[in-house]
Structure 1
Amino acid sequence: MTIKDAAEEWEIRGTETPFRGKKTSVRTDEVVMPDGSVARRDYQVHPGSVAVLALDEEDRVLVLRQYRHPVRQKLWEIPAGLLDVPGENPLHAAQRELFEEAHVKAGDWRVLADVYTTPGGCDEAVRIFLARDLAEAEGERFEVEHEEADMELARVPVAELVRGVLAGELHNNCLVVGALSLVAARNGEGLDALRPALAPWPARPFEV
């Protein structure tokens, strides 16, 4: 038995969109179940996201502390952002987010992990990149607003992030998945064996 997710789509008898927001919406589908019954499923429609685990030469990860209103907490996170343009190349989006949120560029990019954040209630897909060979970016810093205006930046050792995850002190999904995937990759075939930055991403197809 191969343990691998597979594409499949059950019949939809009807659909409606009771809410449309600026970036996301809520959809209700009437889905035909295997026993022939029809069930209503509500979920958030999301454009997708990218996140960047930026690792420096001292084995520290660049993290941000940002207020997240839905959970009423300030969370430590890795740089991340929406795929604002349909079909946008996720690598380009990740490079943009690293520049805008940390004013940093990277010389080496790999795919660390692809995840669905909450597949029971949202179709958001996130590609988490590993960025190495970091340097200060050229040009003016990006002008931030809203929650990002209060953002803090830090560089934290990988071991400290893993400790915080396992202690229940760090909760951002991209940070958790990114930090643990980094350790798993190191303990496996190594970071240079990770997928290339432009590896196919069926959940969010893009143009190279």
Structure 2
Amino acid sequence: MPDLRDVPEQWPVAESHLEYDGGGWVVRLRNDRIRRPGHPEDEPFSRLVLEHPGAAIVLAMDDQDRVLCLWQYRHAVRHTLVQLPAGLLDVDGEDPIDVARRELVEEAGLEARSWTHLISAYSSPGITSEMSHFYLATDLTEVGRGDFELEHEEAEMVLDWVPFADLHDAVVAGRLADAHLALAVLVAGSRLAPVPRGSGTDHQKEQDS
């Protein structure tokens, strides 16, 4: 069995051209024609690559083991999803933890004294270079958003606190489909095991049944 680890590697690229430059936004779509290593006689094959700067995702938990969640409309999937505060690494050289801090203030009006890196993971490596960095934020303080104003989909989003146990149960039951939320909750759950049970509704129903 190969080593159980990811290995940096670069297959030969015969040619590459830009399909879409992002139109002033932060992503670009590139078409690479690549070959298998050691097979120069093979015809190159195409792979589309969505260049993405990456993102930071924040699982903010208060002293009652509740997580701040956002109900936000996502047009690509035609759903309002339960998500976590998150933001793009769209400033060159900016550290992901600084993006996480900024997004927690802008989207939730909160600061955290304690930050724990949970995991960094590729979101969908078959199509995009995006890597997301996940953080657990605790010891929270309300500071307000300052002069930051929500717009577009964010202007309609709803914020609320959800007991971690209920959130964990909803992810495991398949009721929540946002991958960033699911990964953050499951990794945090493994770090916090046993999962904080609190007084969440799902757990109460299990006790009552």
Q: Which TM-score band (shorter chain)?
A: 0.7 to 0.9
Look up the match of 1:115.
121
Look up the match of 1:24.
27
Does the residue aligned with 1:56 lie in a helix, a strand or coil?
coil
Select 1:127's aligned residue among 85, 110, 133. Answer: 133
1:128-143 equivalent positions in 2, closer than 5 A = 128-137=134-143, 140=146, 142-143=148-149
Structure 1 position 83 matched with structure 2 position 84: no
Task: Give the number of aligned pairs.
Answer: 188
Look up the match of 2:100.
94
Moved over 3 A (4+): none
Asked if structure 2 preserves the Cα contact closer than 8 Å seen for 1:54 and 1:62, the reply is: yes
The separation in 2 between residues aligned to 1:127 and 1:141, in whole angstroms, is 26
Select 2:190's aligned residue among 184, 187, 191. Answer: 184
1:2 Cα deviation (Å)?
3.6
Look up the match of 2:4.
3
Gapped runs of 5+ residues in structure 1?
A: 189-208
- With CA pairs under 8 Å and 6+ residues apart, which has the higher RCO, 1 or 2? 1
The separation in 2 between residues aligned to 1:150 and 1:50, in whole angstroms, is 21
The separation in 1 between residues aligned to 2:132 and 2:97, in whole angstroms, is 12
Give the TM-score, by structure 1 length. 0.86
Give the TM-score, by structure 2 length. 0.86
Gapped runs of 5+ residues in structure 2?
A: 195-209
The separation in 2 between residues aligned to 1:2 and 1:94, in whole angstroms, is 32
Look up the match of 2:156.
150
RMSD: 1.5
Identity rate of aligned residues, in percent?
40
Structure 1 position 63 matched with structure 2 position 63: no
